A and B are shown apart, each in its own frame.
Chain A
Amino acid sequence: MSTALATAEKGSSLWADAWIKLSRNHLALFGLAVVLTLCLVSLLTPWIAPYGYEQQNLMLGASPPSAEHWLGTDVFGRDMLTRIMYGGRVSLLVGFIATAVALLIGVLWGAVAGFVGGRVDTVMMRMVDILYALPFMIFIVLLMVVFGRNIFLLFFAIGAVEWLTMARIVRGQVMSLRRQEFVEAAHSLGLSQWAIIRRHIIPNTLGPVIVYTTLTIPSVMLLEAFLSFLGLGIQPPQSSWGLLINYGVETMEEYPWLLIFPGIALSLTLFALNFLGDGLRDALDPRASKD
């Protein structure tokens, strides 16, 4: 850092450091740009989509990409570009909300279990084990049956299943950090418990958490497609990328564009999220040198 000498005493915040490191990572920046663009497009879809997502043209049927329909149309003559844009809204929402739910429950559960330890830890982790042993499909189907079919409940139900691994990861991290010298040093300096968690524990768990988060988002998107296929998730005419791909696979020999374009959209998002996640992990790693 060019201003290292001047700021040496002041110290720079973790976030400022992270941003600088991230901005040097071109792949991560590309990922960030893609994710932001996708979010923006999704937000604006109702105003910028060329057609209605349910607008059919049965006479046209499935047609390959053309000037009127850039990405072609599906068997009902619905514009694929529009459907992918609307599908993206659902998929991204599922991805982010379900992951946020998983993150919230998982990190809290894991951190408490790991930090408090002892009997509390045993009880909490056995509960996680029990939930793990439950076939997760049955669990989700049960949740959907009890609470009815509602798109936000679906998000929540998926999130409520996905937090288990997160809790284990965080607990493991916290347990190992708790016994590290710098935490003991902080203790001996008289820092409060909360200050230790905030200043030392959480920043140190961020790396694995972020990586796992970027892996959770895509798996959640695919899970949504699966549930929708079983009739528990999104119902036509609404769609999501997972569903579009599902339908596309059925006719991939006749109408390949119905599979290729949603496939590209999903893979692009997953790549972008992975690059971004990788970059963020490097950037947020407090152990990395502050050159």
Chain B
Amino acid sequence: MKQTIPPPLRSASVLTVCLLGFALGACGSGENRVTAGNRDGVLHWGNASEPQGLDPHIATGVPEHKIIMALMEGLVLKDTTTLEPIPGVAKRWEISDDGLVYTFYLRENARWSNGDPHNAHDYVWSWWRALQPALGNLYAYMYFPIKNAQAYYEGKISDFDQVGVKALDDFTLQVSLNDPTPYFLQLLDHYSLFPVHRPTIEKFGAPDERGTRWTFEGNLVGNGAFQLEEWKINRYVRVGRNPYYWGAGDVKLNQIYFYPTENITTEERMFRAGQLHYTYEVPVDKVAVYQEKGSGELQIYPYLGSYFYRFNTRVEHLSDRRVRRALAMAVDRQQITDQVLKAGQVPSYAVTPPDTMGYFPESDLTFDPDKARALLTEAGYPDGAGFPKTEILYNTSEEHRKVAVAIQQMWKQYLNIDVTLLNQEWKVYLDSETNMDYEISRASWIGDYVDPNNFLDMWLCNGGNNRTGWCNPEYDRLVLEAAPKASSHEERLEIFKTAEKMLLADMPVLPIYIYTSKHLINPAIRNFPKNILNQPSFKDIYLDPSAARVAEAH
């Protein structure tokens, strides 16, 4: 007799198959998050890490950046394809002939997400707040092109009225600069220059107090296309339409969920199971799989970002530039990009990515193990003998671990030194780095605006994003004074080249590679831009359910 499964068991096995299928994203009957999201206009976004905070004057990471971009808006936006400035809160602006005075005309219909009027005075107050030293704004130097902003920040003047920002009337804001700054309009789209809602901040603490509850769920008031609805720690941040937004009628999405997806393997599985529209990263070993599949979900494109290691120059043996140079020369970058990362990354020997506004950095750094050994011997560690205990710090992630393991072995092989690895969760890692509680630390810098200045002014003495302890007054002079006063674009780039050469000669940072953006993107996502800043415009994105269906049938 033929064996048949008794009915109850059979339904159980159907259920099992269905559950299995669901895990693989193939179960026809169950509706997954993405399908439901396509229908309801809800975007599910892989966002790498739990945000450290949502205060635009304190945040520094890319995950925070993405959420803040949905919640708040600056005077100017960037066209997501050309990256040219387009009107944001300012509907138009005028620039004086000498390039020093910018006059912004703000929209009369701009509102905060609680309905409060939003006007020029908000900017004066917000920028005053951002320049309070006690706030610890890591991006304070972004304000330095503005007249007297640096002097005010450094306490040389105490009267904020002398700083070059004035509200001429409720809807006219005038900004005066020290020098013509070609990238100034781009800066205005950076969150460190975003306005914040004064009554909310003052309700939850002093204006320059860090970590108050004003950015929490239910408290935060912004001026962006979306407003914060829910923040479940380590689960998601949910934002929904802001009905008071000046362009609310054109916003297409209803909600966006930002998920912390620190484990990129899990993230890829979530994508396959229909839980994410967009992944922050793609595991190295999956790149080939998706390329073969040819579904168009895998998108790789250039990214204005530099991956490097910081040296803590206050650690005794790392304060010797010969040691830092030796370590940098013993890293075979080509092998790392070709064999470990395998997604079109470019080996880098300088901090600024090449062709940033026509700028190509010059570097004397090469992969040269012999010279590295010679330098190390010169520094007093022949054949690595007696090299002190050194640790590479990285934030928990598969890719950072891989790069670190490869570099660890290269140093062992070429220099005969042992280094250990230490991984920390994102927030802890940021704290360790900021407090200089590390020896060598993985780091990266993603362009906030397209200009070499963005990659070079972070290394100013005591700059909030320097975090290496390196300081060279001559370098500061070049970047802060000489470059802005340059008479032509070419001359300016030459000054940057000189500055970057000084930086590389001392090597407080060890350049490794230039990023590519690689994401898995659901075919239903429309209006998704592929710019080198990898900066989406959430108010323009929309979801087209029919596209997803075509892709599935395919």
> Interface residues, chain A, CB within 8 Å of chain B?
54-56, 58-59, 61-62, 75-76, 149, 230-231, 235-237, 249-251, 253-255
Contact = CB atoms under 8 A, between A and B. Distances in A.
Given A61-B339, A231-B424, A251-B285, 18 more contacts: A54-B409, A54-B412, A56-B406, A56-B409, A56-B413, A76-B340, A76-B405, A76-B406, A235-B420, A235-B421, A235-B423, A236-B404, A236-B405, A236-B421, A237-B408, A249-B265, A250-B265, A250-B285
B423 A231 contact: yes
16 contacts: A54-B409, A54-B412, A55-B409, A62-B285, A75-B285, A76-B402, A76-B409, A235-B420, A235-B422, A236-B401, A236-B408, A250-B265, A250-B285, A251-B283, A254-B285, A254-B289
Please list the 3 inter-chain residue pairs (A to B) with the smallest Cβ-Cβ separation, ordered nearest first: A58-B339, A231-B423, A250-B265
B286 A254 contact: yes
Interface of B: 265, 283-286, 288-289, 335-336, 339-340, 396, 398, 401-402, 404-406, 408-409, 412-413, 420-425
B404 to A, nearest CB: 7
A56 B425 CA distance: 27
A237 B285 contact: no
B412 A255 contact: no
Contacts of A75: 284-285, 340, 402
Contacts of B285: 62, 75, 250-251, 254-255
A249 to B, nearest CB: 8
A55 B412 CA distance: 10
Contacts of A251: 265, 283, 285
Given A76-B405, A76-B409, A59 B339 contact: yes
Given A254-B285, A254-B289, A58 B335 contact: yes
Contacts of A253: 289
A237 B420 CA distance: 8
B424 A250 contact: no
Contacts of B335: 58-59
Nearest to B335: A58
Contacts of B412: 54
A250 B421 contact: no
A236 B340 CA distance: 16
B442 to A, nearest CB: 13
Given A231-B423, A250-B283, A254-B289, A237 B405 contact: yes
B390 to A, nearest CB: 13
Contacts of A76: 340, 402, 405-406, 409
A46 B139 CA distance: 51
Given A254-B289, A255-B285, A58 B406 contact: yes
Contacts of B422: 149, 231, 235
A21 B494 CA distance: 86
Nearest to A250: B265
A231 B408 contact: no
Nearest to A251: B285
A76 B401 CA distance: 12
A249 B265 CA distance: 9
B268 to A, nearest CB: 9
A54 B413 CA distance: 10
B287 to A, nearest CB: 10
Contacts of A59: 335, 339
A58 B406 CA distance: 8
A254 to B, nearest CB: 5
A230 B425 CA distance: 8
